[in-house]
Structure 1
Amino acid sequence: MNYFIYLHGFASSLHSAKAQDISDRFAKIGIKLTIPDLNASDFSHLTINRQINQVAAEFPDDSAPVTLIGSSLGGLTAAHLGQKYPQVQSLVLLAPAFGFLSHWLPKLGDEQVQRWQQEKYLMVDHYGEKRSLPLSYDFVTDAQQYQEAVLQRPIPTLILHGKNDEVIPITASREFAISRPWVKLVELDSDHALGNVMAEIWQAIHLFCQLPGSCKI
């Protein structure tokens, strides 16, 4: 039996709108969707490496196949988990944060990034907590290790990305998919949040994962 895990995005939470929508739809067809809290009660020391280890600890001990559904930074993390662990048999990536640092750091500006490096912490708007929290510069140092070029394991992968994404441009997913024939990219009329296309996302997940029951939930 397949095991499903959802990975929420950066500065988000297991209670995000996408996480809860998809979880509810899984529940209606009798399948549990595990959603770990990737903040781990310590957002300040978040790293991709920590997320990878945390999610891998959720894998079933019986070597049952795992499908990862990842949103934004959770999608990037899911892709690297798939590269590292053969138990991951398929991926669903929602606006995956390919090239995350190259898109995010320029928005902060050189001066702010240098100050972050010197002072070790940067205050970041945490959408899940609805407040600003400090984030260690170790996040950047760690994230620099995770490059898309290493993601070459041919795992069946579905990417759903908004054509009007203002955070991670859709070109990031296009460039990732074009050289990987095992990746299917679906472009949606939406932004990074994908909030207006949840029914389309569910239909695509239902078909891709060959789930039981009706996709019209």
Structure 2
Amino acid sequence: MVERVDSGDLKQANAGIWSGYVYSKPEQLGLPYQDVEIPVANGIAPAWRFDPPASVEASGVWAIHVHGMGGKRAGTLRGIPVASRLGLTSLVVSFRNDGDAPPSYDGRYSLGQGEWRDVEAGINYAISNGAERIVLFGWSLGASIALQTAALSPNSPRLTGMVLDAPVFDWRTTLEANAKAAGLPLPLVHLGFTILRSKALRWVTGLAEPIRLDSLDWLARATELDKPVLVLHGEKDDTTPVEASKKAASLRPDLVKLVEFESVGHSLEWNIDSEKWERSVEEWFYGLPLAGSSPEQAAAQS
């Protein structure tokens, strides 16, 4: 049964794809929002800002929502309702090469290596508009971007924690899994890693800079994690294997909490069990140091 058509003419469609997007437009949430503009390196990146409704007391915490590779901002709208109930102001950002934000000079994804700067621009916007603390919500590639932002942002002390859905903790693990699913031989995959890392072979990839895969490996860098992380990941994810999330949780049980979802594909955790997804976020958030407290309580605890 087709419940609604958000765009186009269904009768004229010849083909389609399955998507995890439940909302395609911010107004479908029935929550107050506004379109805002975030200054970034090559221009202006559009974003959506959701302020808590009048019935909810604002917490002083902002949530920055970051979508995945090949996706759009609308993919993160599933995380807005729970953030709104928690009193968070939500900023749904775009980033370079996603079709909304200005492209990078090379027009290529850099697996979080460069995109984090656009998320940092969103954080600067949030702080200039009254944010006291920040929670990052990252989906797939967006999770990798969130991890880079937490590590590199000058505003890192303001970051309270991260909610990561189907995260990429290590691109080698993810790319190897996708290559295996596609039937590509492992030696060819490792050759690809060499090309990505090579400055001399940038003419092959079109990248302005080589990809430093080691710096994007948060399993090898697990000791450097210093923010609480909630991971929401499906057991049947064949795009970003849950094994990497399990390893991250085993390496840093003091910071990483993993909530697994049964029989679900990539980034479909909310779709399969939205109640569990949102309950997990709520319980994690209220367990954060300072996050669930008022500004006065936070000052007293610091």
TM-score, normalised on structure 1? 0.76
Deviations 1:150-197 (Å, cap 9, x if unpaired)? 342331111111011111111100111111121111111122122312
Shift of 1:77: 1.5
Q: Which has the higher contact order (CA 8 A, sep 6+)?
A: 1
Q: Name which of 236, 239, 244 aligns with 1:167.
A: 239
Which residue in 2 is equivalent to 1:90? 161
Q: 1:153 to 1:191 in 2, by over 3 A?
A: same
Give me the whole-angstrom Cα distance separating, in 2, the residues matched to 1:83 and 1:115.
25
Residue pair 2:141, 2:167 contacting (<8 A) in 1 also? yes
- Return the alpha-carbon distance in structure 1 between the equivalents of residues 83 and 285 of structure 2: 11
Q: Say if 1:156 and 1:182, in contact at 8 Å, map to a contact too.
A: yes
Instruction: State the structure with more CA Rg.
Output: 2
Over 3 Å counting, the alpha-carbon distance change for 1:145 and 1:161 in structure 2 is: same
Give the aligned partner of residue 171 of structure 2. 100
Letter in 2 for 1:42: P
CA deviation vs aligned residue, 1:33-57 (integer Å, no higher than 9, x gap)? 1111122242732322321111111
RMSD of aligned residue pairs (Cα, Å)? 3.0
User: Are the equivalent residues in 2 in contact too, given 1:69–1:75 (CA < 8 A)?
Assistant: yes
1:199 aligns to 2:275 (yes or no): yes
Q: Name whichever of 52-61 and 110-119 sits farther off.
A: 110-119
The amino acid that maps onto 1:162 is G
Deviation at 1:10? Answer: 1.1
Q: Do residues 8 (structure 1) and 61 (structure 2) align?
A: no
**Does the Cα contact within 8 Å between 1:82 and 1:89 map onto a contact in 2?**
no
Following superposition of structure 1 onto structure 2, how do residues 32-181 of structure 1 map, counting pairs within 5 Å? Answer: 32-38=89-95, 39=98, 40-42=101-103, 44-47=107-110, 48-59=112-123, 60-61=127-128, 64-84=132-152, 85-104=156-175, 107=179, 109=184, 110=188, 113=192, 120-121=204-205, 136-137=206-207, 141-148=211-218, 149-151=220-222, 152-180=224-252, 181=254
Aligned length: 196
Once residues 158 and 86 of structure 1 are traced to their aligned partners in structure 2, the CA distance between those partners, rounded to angstroms, is 18
Gaps of 5+ in 1: 122-135, 213-217
Check the 8 A contact 1:66/1:90 in 2, yes or no. Answer: yes
Q: TM-score, normalised by structure 2?
A: 0.56
Q: Which amino acid aligns with 2:276?
A: E
Shift of 1:144: 5.0
| Cα distance in 2 between the residues matched to 1:24 and 1:94 | 16
Shift of 1:140: 6.4
Q: Which is further off, 160-169 or 47-56?
A: 47-56
Alpha-carbon separation, structure 1, partners of 2:284 and 2:266: 21
Distance 1:137 1:185, change over 3 A: same
Match of 1:184, SS state, is strand
Contact 1:165 1:192 in 2 (8 A): yes
Structure 2 CA distance, aligned partners of 1:81 and 1:120?
28
Local SS of the residue matching 2:257: strand
